[in-house]
Chain A
Amino acid sequence: MPIVTDHLTLVYGEKTNLKTIALNDVSVKIDDGQFIGLIGHTGSGKTTFLQLISGLIKPKEGTVYLDGEDIFDRNFDTRVLRSKVGIVFQYPEHQLFEETVFKDVCFGPSNLGLEKKEVELRAYEALKMVGLDDNAFYQSPFDLSGGQKRRVAIAGVLAMKPKVMILDEPTAGLDPAGRKEILGLISKLQKEQNITIILVSHSMEDVAEYVERIIVINKGKIALDGTPKEVFGHSEELKSFGLALPQVTDAMIRLKNQGINVSTDVITINEAVQELSRVLR
């Protein structure tokens, strides 16, 4: 289910003096099963972009095609959109509300008009996919740890059987182990379920480690688009957008500037260890 945006433009506060062009003529194609990192400074237009491709707001100009169909067409069935494009918002655990974990995960699919059995099967599968223990199923979601709550929230979206999953800073506020756990889970879902992942993150280190394509949004436009290595090769531009490089990449660039002949095409700790071992031996 590829997503194509065609000259997507959105303006807030038009005809007022607070007019802001939040998204400016964005055309991009997101292929099936890709793992995409979406990065940008606060106010760059990332959230607007996500809201548009998930059909939560309407563009001023241009449109979005999901599997070739215009999602803003009057005849387009928005229920298809809601089930196929799942969104995990920031701090998704704040949206948990049911008495038990299992009931909470059932809520989404039960609104799709499915039979009860099918709903429960999906909830069970989703909770298994996120790796939650059986004995947590009938606990109150509020008694779980931060990382577990977030897993339950993700299961709630998975139970809709989405083809595309959008996650807005899914690791904010988690400790390092919890961050790795959630990112590992997302990566597994992408590989095993072939779900397209669009991950919004402020951590360049996480993006470098996990995604296969980075889209950088700046001032409402796509400023850079490519593999992590390609994007992190534009260090000066990234800094001018208020973004950063992974710490190891920055260190390699500085080493090179000081006359040590290392490759700067390094974005993870493992790569840095290999490259430095090679050069320093």
Chain B
Amino acid sequence: MKFIKAKEVTYEYIRRDDDGNVEGINRAVDNVSLDVKEGDFITILGSNGSGKSTFAKHLNAILHPTEGSVWVNGMDTKEEDKTLAIRQSTGMVFQNPDNQIIGQVVEEDVAFGPENMGVKTEEIWERVEEALKTVGMTEYRKYSPNKLSGGQKQRISIAGVLAMHPKCIVLDEPTAMLDPSGRKEVIRALRALNEVEGITIILITHYMEEAIYSDKIFVMNKGQIVMEGNPKEIFSRVEELEEYKLEVPQITRLAYELKKKGFNLPDGILTEDELINAIKGL
């Protein structure tokens, strides 16, 4: 089943001068069409200014397309009376955990979403408990969020979204400000949500290594989708990615360079295990 459908979506930022006259139009998203199946793990890659974040904001009705349409869980985001239902089904997590955490205590923060949805108190606590357990943060429920590391804070942000029982979570560079172990924690939590709970994940990132577990990758450039495929297909196209100011994971690059030197390695090696096996087979 298609959970998200975007049809010929275009979004323009309009710059105006002090008198309100149009000074310039910046087309951030340009005729994008894509489908996301329920339960998929999707990664969107693209350089700064390629339109990824602008597009992502269409997925829970923060922005509405200038042209074209977006359907989330069968609902057209243009219909205002659907906005709340859309935001419950698709939650968003942003880059900076400090801008998203509002509670004084971890469990209060996680309870904020369901509380605003009018969920009964007892059920709120059940949801908080379950959400914290899912991201592996139960033992920190009574902590002040200030005392947590970046990775832990991001997992609390994710728990806050989870407590609203979404079907899909969109994450806009959730690991950009984290150290290596924090990055791993967050990615591990996302994979578990996807595999165990079946939640659709849409991840935007600048770290290529984080994309290798996805079912499908979309690459954006200048507002358009320019590449689409599974990680192996995408990361086999090293030179094309570089044109779009991207790169391939270090391991993939290593395999690619060795191949250029004449070693008989397969295309699109993504993980250390794959590389080691391929080298042992030489």
Contacts and interface: CB of A to CB of B under 8 A. Distances in A.
A246 interface: yes
Interface in B144-158: 149-151
Nearest to A18: B147
Contact of B279 (A42, A205, A250, A280): A280
A276 interface: yes
B246 to A, nearest CB: 5
A258 B258 contact: no
Given A247-B251, A248-B250, A173 B46 contact: no
Contacts of A254: 272, 276
B20 interface: no
Tier of interface size on chain A: 35 or more
A223 to B, nearest CB: 14
B245 A41 contact: no
Interface in A88-105: 90
Contacts of A251: 251, 254, 272, 275-276
A226 B158 CA distance: 38
B181 A41 contact: yes
Interface stretch (B1-9, B113-121, B171-179, B190-198): B171-179
B150 A176 contact: no
Contacts of B50: 175
B257 A175 contact: no
Contacts of B46: 175
A202 B209 CA distance: 14
Contacts of B178: 42, 202
A243 B258 contact: no
A173 B254 contact: no
Interface string B203-245: 0001011000000000000000000000000000000001001
Contacts of A243: 179-181
B280 A247 contact: no
27 contacts: A41-B181, A42-B149, A42-B150, A90-B177, A173-B48, A173-B173, A174-B206, A175-B48, A175-B245, A202-B178, A202-B180, A205-B250, A242-B179, A243-B181, A244-B181, A246-B250, A247-B250, A247-B272, A250-B272, A251-B275, A258-B280, A272-B254, A273-B254, A273-B258, A273-B261, A276-B258, A280-B279
Given A42-B182, A174-B48, A276-B254, 4 more contacts: A40-B179, A173-B173, A173-B176, A242-B179
Interface of A: 40-43, 90, 145-147, 169, 172-179, 202, 204-205, 242-244, 246-248, 250-251, 254-255, 258, 260, 269, 272-273, 276-277, 280
> Which 4 A-B residue pairings sit nearest by Cβ, starting from the closest?
A177-B245, A146-B48, A175-B47, A247-B250
